[in-house]
A = this chain, B = another copy of it.
C-alpha cells in the first residue's frame, strides 16, 4: 500500500469510524459469541502472498465486530468508562504517523517537552500543589504512564530506592538485600491510598493518612485512577484535599477525561526520587542535552509513544469548561439513576453516590442479586458488572459512554426494574 492508496483507504476508514461511533447504540452492547469463536473464522497461518485491502476490510464486520464488547455504547455501564473522543482519535493518527520513540530528549524533543507541559497544564487544572509541577525550575513534574498499575509499581520502586539510599547514608555497611528484607508497604484491601476505588468509588481519608506517612517518612502514593478527572471541577476538588502530603499521585485521563487509552497521568514531588530508581545510560542513548528530561527514566519501558498529543488536542478542543461540563453531565446521570433506584422500595443503594457510579441491589439474598445480574447481562440490552461490598453481592451501574443521555438512563432502569419484577414474581410467597 503506497501513500496514494492510503489516502483513499484512510478516508474510507474515517467514514467507517464515524459510522461506527454514530450508530453504536444500534449494535448489541455485549456479544453472543462463545470462547474460541474467532479461530474458526480465519486461516491457521498468515498468508504467503499479500491480500487485497478489500479482503481485510470486509473481515472487520465478519470476524471482529461479532466479538466486540462495545465500550462506547450508551448501553454499556460496566467497569469504569474508557475515554473516546474525536479530537483524541485525530491526535492518535498524527502520533502514529510521526511514530517517534521518545525515550530521551534527543530521540524527539517535541515528544518529551509537550508531555512535560501538558502534565503541568493538567496539574493546574486539578489545582495540584506547585511542588508537583515541573515549570521551568521546579523539582517535581508529571509523566504519562500506560496504566495506574504501572504508576503504582513505579511509586513502589521509587519509594524502595529512596529509603535504601537514606538508610545506607547512615549505615554504609548494610546491604541492599538486607534492607529490602525489612521494608514494609502498607495498603488497604484496595491497595495504596485510593481516591475512588473500583468496586464502589470509595475514598480513603488522605488528610488523616498523610500526616502519619510524612511523620515517619513513609512514601505516600495516591491513586485516583477513575475519580481524578472529576477534580477539575471546583465542587469535587475537596476530594483531593490532603494531596499536599503525598509523594506521588496518579489518575487516568484515559478513563474519564476524553483522552483515549492509554494515558495515565502521574506526578511526583521530587523527580530525582524516580529517576534515581530507573536511570540507565548506555552510550547509544547519551546526547548533548542529557538533563533535559529523559522520560524513560520515569518508567518500566524504554520506548514511549507521543501520547501528549492527544491531551493537547482534547484540552484545547474542549477547553476546561467543556471538560467540566462533561464530568458534571455524567455525575448528573448517575444521580438520576440513583433517584430511580431510591424511589423503588424493592431496591437499596449500597454505597454513597459521589461521582458517576451507582452501587445498588435488591433487598434480599446474594443469590437473588446474582440471578438478577445474570438475567440483565443475558438479555444483552445493557451490560453491567458486580462487586462485593462487606460480603454483599452488589450491582455496579457506571455511567460510561460519551453518548449516554437521560433517555438511556430511563430505559436502563425500566429494563432492570422489569427484570426484577419477573424475578420476584417467580419466588415462592
Number of copies: 2
- With contacts A45-B124, A71-B108 known, is A13 near B55, CB below 8 A? no
User: What is the bound-complex CA distance between A46 and B114, given in angstroms?
Assistant: 13
Which residues on the B side are within 8 Å of A60 (C-beta)? 94
* One of A146-154, A243-251, A268-276, A339-347 at the interface: A146-154
Would you call A50 an interface residue if the criterion is a C-beta within 8 Å of the partner chain's C-beta atoms? yes
A99 — nearest CB in chain B belongs to which residue?
B84
In the complex, the answer to whether A10 meets B90 with C-beta atoms within 8 Å is yes
In the complex, the answer to whether A101 meets B79 with C-beta atoms within 8 Å is yes
In the complex, the answer to whether A16 meets B69 with C-beta atoms within 8 Å is no
Which residues on the B side are within 8 Å of A92 (C-beta)? 92-93, 96
A400 to chain B, nearest CB (A): 11
In the complex, the answer to whether A90 meets B302 with C-beta atoms within 8 Å is no
User: What is the bound-complex CA distance between A300 and B301, given in angstroms?
Assistant: 11
CB < 8 Å neighbour of A14 from B11, B79, B114, B150: B11
Residues from 9 to 45 in A contacting B, C-beta threshold 8 Å: 9-11, 13-18, 20-22, 31, 33-39, 42, 44-45
Q: Helix, strand, loop or mixed for chain A's interface?
A: helix
Q: Mark A93-113, 1 if CB is under 8 A from B, else 0.
A: 110111111000111111101
Q: Mark A129-151, 1 if CB is under 8 A from B, else 0.
A: 00000001000000000111110
Q: Mark A375-402, 1 if CB is under 8 A from B, else 0.
A: 0000000000111100001001000000
User: What is the bound-complex CA distance between A55 and B321, given in angstroms?
Assistant: 18
CB < 8 Å neighbour of A113 from B38, B96, B107, B150: B38
In the complex, the answer to whether B56 meets A316 with C-beta atoms within 8 Å is yes
Which residues on the B side are within 8 Å of A260 (C-beta)? 96, 99
Would you call A284 an interface residue if the criterion is a C-beta within 8 Å of the partner chain's C-beta atoms? yes
Would you call A125 an interface residue if the criterion is a C-beta within 8 Å of the partner chain's C-beta atoms? yes
In the complex, the answer to whether A6 meets B89 with C-beta atoms within 8 Å is yes
In the complex, the answer to whether B1 meets A35 with C-beta atoms within 8 Å is no
A16 to chain B, nearest CB (A): 7
**In which size bucket is the chain A interface?**
35 or more
User: What is the bound-complex CA distance between A50 and B87, given in angstroms?
Assistant: 12
Which residues on the B side are within 8 Å of A216 (C-beta)? none
A52 to chain B, nearest CB (A): 8
Q: Mark A281-297, 1 if CB is under 8 A from B, else 0.
A: 01111010101110000
- With contacts A146-B146, A284-B387 known, is A71 near B99, CB below 8 A? yes
Q: Which of A17, A48, A181 is the most central at the interface, judged by chain B CB atoms within 10 Å of its CB?
A: A17
In the complex, the answer to whether A136 meets B36 with C-beta atoms within 8 Å is yes
A35 — nearest CB in chain B belongs to which residue?
B292
CB < 8 Å neighbour of A46 from B22, B86, B254, B316: B316
Would you call A229 an interface residue if the criterion is a C-beta within 8 Å of the partner chain's C-beta atoms? no
In the complex, the answer to whether B315 meets A46 with C-beta atoms within 8 Å is yes
In the complex, the answer to whether B387 meets A283 with C-beta atoms within 8 Å is yes
In the complex, the answer to whether B86 meets A3 with C-beta atoms within 8 Å is yes
User: What is the bound-complex CA distance between A2 and B402, given in angstroms?
Assistant: 11
Residues from 306 to 325 in A contacting B, C-beta threshold 8 Å: 309, 312-313, 315-322
Which residues on the B side are within 8 Å of A108 (C-beta)? 67-69, 71
Would you call A5 an interface residue if the criterion is a C-beta within 8 Å of the partner chain's C-beta atoms? yes
User: What is the bound-complex CA distance between A105 and B38, given in angstroms?
Assistant: 12
Would you call A208 an interface residue if the criterion is a C-beta within 8 Å of the partner chain's C-beta atoms? no
User: What is the bound-complex CA distance between A388 and B284, given in angstroms?
Assistant: 8
A33 to chain B, nearest CB (A): 5
In the complex, the answer to whether B69 meets A107 with C-beta atoms within 8 Å is yes
Which residues on the B side are within 8 Å of A66 (C-beta)? 110
A190 — nearest CB in chain B belongs to which residue?
B282
Would you call A239 an interface residue if the criterion is a C-beta within 8 Å of the partner chain's C-beta atoms? no
Given contacts A150-B300, A284-B387, 4 further A-B contacts (CB under 8 A): A6-B17, A16-B97, A46-B124, A198-B282
Please, could you name 14 A-B residue pairs with CB atoms under 8 Å apart, sorted by A? Answer: A1-B317, A3-B21, A4-B18, A10-B14, A48-B319, A50-B322, A53-B317, A56-B312, A79-B284, A89-B97, A149-B301, A150-B300, A199-B284, A283-B388
